[in-house]
Amino acid sequence: MRILVIEDDDRIRVDVKAALEAAGYIVDVEASGEEGWFLGDTESYGAVVLDLGLPQMDGLTILKRWRKAGRTMPVLILTARGTWNERVDGIDAGADDYLAKPFHVEELIARLRAIIRRSGGNADSVIRIGDTELDERQMRVAVRGVSVNLSPQEYRLVSYLMIHSGRVVSQQELAEQLQSVHFERESNAVEVLVARVRKKLPNALIETRRGFGYLVPRELLG
């Protein structure tokens, strides 16, 4: 899954990017509010980490513009101020969660995972569909209790589809979520990746909806 981090503090931006990549995410970063707004408005992200105190365009303005334009990705706000009225303004503007600086990156990752799960209609950090289990904290996929050896890219694919189970996900959306904006996206990369995953997981887990994309049902029959 692809995450956008908009933060003008160099140290925080580097630390958060490294921690999120270690947690299995694809991460794009921006220090400028205007550039960050543009990326969030034109690219597809699983979630955004958004600082409020940004140059050129502040985080609250960015968030309001995204929501007015119909951008619904989960947003975790960061701020150094952390007053109660600022939190209220952020939530009212469409933020999904709020984290005051200084913070531990482990808490940021936990909060980010939670808002991503909620956006897909899941509350638990362990998602079970049929015989397949996704454990986000351990970055582990298991079938009938046995861990499956997946590459990072394969794990991201399974994770994204299971978190968004019950919804058809297009090839374009998957391609956008599995690669950084800075890399060229191959036209058949998603098909090849799905084919590899199907060899390792139960065949019924990922359905092809021809002409539309892929679906992991919320429940598997028989």
Beta strand residue intervals within the chain, DSSP E: 2-6, 26-30, 47-51, 75-79, 97-100, 126-129, 132-135, 140-143, 146-147, 207-209, 213-215
Which has the closest alpha carbon to 117: 109, 128, 125?
A: 125
Helix (H, G, I), strand (E, B) or coil at 97: strand
Query: Which of these three, 119, 152, 184, is where a domain ends?
Result: 119
Same-domain check for residues 107 and 207:
no
Same-domain check for residues 131 and 206:
yes
Give the dihedral of Cα atoms 91, 69, 122, 77; nearest 10 deg.
Answer: -40
Distance CA 195, CA 10 (A): 40
Same-domain check for residues 88 and 172:
no
Query: Which of these three, 69, 93, 119, is where a domain ends?
Result: 119
Same-domain check for residues 110 and 145:
no
Same-domain check for residues 135 and 26:
no
- The pLDDT, as a whole number, for residue 36 is 96
Answer yes or no: is 222 within a domain: no
Domain carrying residue 199: 126-215
- The pLDDT, as a whole number, for residue 137 is 87
Distance CA 122, CA 196 (A): 26
pTM: 0.83
The CATH number assigned to the domain holding 114 equals 3.40.50.2300
- The pLDDT, as a whole number, for residue 222 is 46
Per-position pLDDT tens, the chain of length 222? 899 999 999 999 999 999 999 999 999 999 999 999 999 999 989 999 999 989 999 999 999 999 999 999 999 999 886 666 777 888 888 899 999 999 999 999 999 999 999 988 887 889 999 999 999 888 999 999 999 999 999 999 999 999 999 999 998 888 888 876 554 556 688 888 999 999 999 878 999 999 899 999 987 754
Contacts of 89 (CB under 8 A, 6+ apart): 60
Contact between 74 and 99 under an 8 Å Cβ cutoff? The reply is: no
- The pLDDT, as a whole number, for residue 122 is 81
Which residues is 77 bridged to in the sheet?
A: 50, 98
- The pLDDT, as a whole number, for residue 132 is 94
Same-domain check for residues 98 and 182:
no
Residue 20 corresponds to which tokens in the numbers above? 């999120």
Answer yes or no: is 33 within a domain: yes
Same-domain check for residues 6 and 108:
yes
Distance CA 211, CA 134 (A): 27
Phi, psi dihedrals of residue 14, rounded to the nearest 5° = -65, -45
Which has the closest alpha carbon to 214: 179, 149, 164, 178?
A: 164
